[in-house]
């Protein structure tokens, strides 16, 4: 378990950190000023979705993702690979890249290490991810190795493209597409002259020897941070933990370590204790929209009739703006009547719960 401060061009990030997911340049239902009040220091954006809508060039012309969504703090974008893997139809993977059909209108697109880097540079997040193939589960050893080898070749191509183009971020005023010098309202510092960080992704399926090899060869290529990918793809939880623990042993302690797509409140505490610095998951926000709330007393399914007359707060031990102000009865009513406010309040509470959980972990170190 360790504590650190990541310094990004858009402000500091205290780790271990949970990153809320803002798929379409928004954390569904929550305005940016509330995210700031909740203490969110870094958001995750999904390249696949932003590539399809509104389009990378559109975001770049509007000054990059920070300016477009009016979020002055740090952002991390994924490479788009995982969404292509999980969302799109008719995927065709070759050495060159992935051809896929949009889940929105069936239109044909192509993502490669180079185009995924170009997209993420165009969006201008502080931390961007190498383009990888998320190996499916289950898969036989031969398939896992072939997939891992391709991810390593894609990692090299990602890094090469990044090194050649990294100063083309929209907030770097030396680039012609920069709208103007941007000032970070939190730090007052100019963001010009500095640029993005690129993280590599360790694959290798559930095979510990391949995980070790993937970690060592990814480190050889050399990245600013390292992510553990290819987990939470349907494997049992005990196996996830085993793979994470084994992989962490081979990753450098002086670089940020990011576990992708994890997890429940219990899991994020567990992984922070193992030495993971960064995590993201749609669980708190997605569950909130389905009326599933995480509290200090366990999960609450707010749709249940038993809460109809409950005047108590959602979580008596939570200090968030929702628990301070509203009753379980009211939250249950909003959910039952399908009011938009139900999604807003539920999401605000679940995010608070996750962020407070991480803050307690940081304070315990």
Catalytic residues, by residue number, are 78, 280
**Per-residue contact string for residues 38-77; x = within reach of Zn ion by CB under 5 A:** ----------------------------------------
Looking at the Cβ atoms of 11 and 284, the one nearer to Zn ion is 284
Binding to Zn ion, residues 240-259 (CB under 5 A): none
Q: Which residues contact 79 (CB under 8 A, 6 or more apart)?
A: 47, 111, 116, 120, 128, 129, 130, 131, 132, 158, 201
Q: How far is the CB of 301 from Zn ion (least distance, A)?
A: 16
Looking at the Cβ atoms of 178 and 344, the one nearer to Zn ion is 344
Residue closest to 349 by CA, chosen among 306, 289, 281, 273: 289
- Which element (helix H / strand E) includes 13? strand 11-15
Looking at the Cβ atoms of 243 and 331, the one nearer to Zn ion is 331
10 Å CB burial of residue 171 (0-12, 13-18, 19+) is: buried
CB neighbour burial string for 2-36, b if at least 16 within 10 angstroms, e if fewer: eeeebebbbbebbbbbbbbbbbebebbbbebebbe
Residue closest to 3 by CA, chosen among 356, 280, 273: 273
Verify binding: residue 345, Zn ion, rule CB under 5 A.
no
Distances (CA, A) of 361 to 19, 40, 235, 269, 364: 15, 15, 26, 7, 5
**Cα-flanking dihedrals φ and ψ of residue 121, to 5°?**
-70, -40
Binding to Zn ion, residues 290-329 (CB under 5 A): 318, 320, 322-323
Torsion over CA: 21, 165, 85, 53 (sign): positive
Q: How far is the CB of 347 from Zn ion (least distance, A)?
A: 11
Window contacting Zn ion (CB under 5 A); options: 42-50, 101-109, 326-334, 348-356: 348-356
Q: Which residues contact 118 (CB under 8 A, 6 or more apart)?
A: 56, 161, 165
Q: How far is the CB of 328 from Zn ion (least distance, A)?
A: 11
Q: Which two tokens stand for residue 24?
A: 């379409």
Q: Which two tokens stand for residue 190?
A: 């100019």
Sequence length of the chain is 365
Tell me, by CB under 5 A, how many residues bind Zn ion. Answer: 5
DSSP β-bridge partners for residue 44? 21, 76
Q: How far is the CB of 296 from Zn ion (least distance, A)?
A: 9
Verify binding: residue 349, Zn ion, rule CB under 5 A.
yes
> Which long-range contacts does 191-195 make (Cβ < 8 Å, 24+ apart)?
191/9, 191/10, 194/9, 195/9, 195/166, 195/167, 195/169
Distance, in Å, from the CA atom of 65 to the CA atom of 50, rounded to the nearest integer, reads 9
Looking at the Cβ atoms of 277 and 356, the one nearer to Zn ion is 356
Verify binding: residue 344, Zn ion, rule CB under 5 A.
no
Query: For the chain, give me the number of helices (H) and strands (E)?
Result: 14, 15
Footprint of Zn ion (CB under 5 A): 318, 320, 322-323, 349
């Amino acid at each position: 378990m360790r504590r650190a401060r990541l310094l990004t061009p858009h402000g500091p990030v205290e780790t271990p950190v949970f990153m809320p997911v803002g798929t379409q340049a928004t954390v569904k239902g929550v305005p940016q000023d509330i995210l700031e009040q909740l203490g969110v220091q870094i958001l995750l954006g999904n390249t696949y979705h932003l590539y399809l809508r509104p389009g990378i060039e559109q975001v770049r012309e509007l000054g990059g993702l920070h300016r477009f969504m009016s979020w002055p703090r740090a952002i991390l974008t994924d490479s788009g690979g995982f969404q292509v893997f999980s969302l799109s139809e008719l995927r065709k993977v070759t050495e060159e890249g992935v051809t896929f059909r949009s889940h929105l209108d069936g239109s044909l697109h192509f993502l490669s290490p180079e185009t995924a880097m170009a997209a993420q540079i165009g969006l201008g997040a502080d931390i961007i991810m190498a383009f990888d193939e998320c190996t499916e589960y289950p898969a036989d050893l031969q398939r896992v190795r072939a997939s891992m080898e391709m991810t390593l070749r894609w990692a090299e191509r990602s890094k090469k493209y990044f090194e050649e183009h990294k100063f083309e971020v929209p907030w770097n005023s030396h680039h012609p597409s920069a709208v103007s010098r941007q000032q970070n309202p939190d730090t007052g510092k100019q963001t010009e002259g500095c640029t993005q960080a690129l993280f590599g992704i360790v694959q290798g399926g559930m095979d510990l020897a391949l995980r070790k090899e993937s970690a060592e060869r990814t480190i050889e290529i050399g990245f600013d941070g390292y992510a553990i990918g290819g987990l939470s793809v349907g494997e049992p939880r005990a196996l996830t933990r085993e793979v994470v623990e084994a992989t962490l042993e081979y990753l450098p302690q002086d670089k940020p370590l990011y576990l992708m797509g994890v997890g429940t409140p219990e899991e994020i505490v567990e992984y922070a204790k193992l030495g993971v610095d960064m995590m993201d998951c749609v669980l708190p926000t997605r569950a909130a929209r389905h009326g599933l709330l995480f509290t200090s007393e366990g999960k609450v399914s707010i749709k249940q009739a038993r809460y109809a007359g409950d005047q108590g707060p959602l979580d008596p031990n939570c200090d968030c703006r929702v628990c301070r102000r509203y009753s379980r009865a009211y939250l249950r009513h909003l959910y039952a009547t399908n009011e938009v406010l139900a999604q807003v309040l539920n999401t605000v509470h679940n995010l608070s719960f996750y962020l407070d959980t991480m803050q307690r972990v940081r304070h315990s170190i």
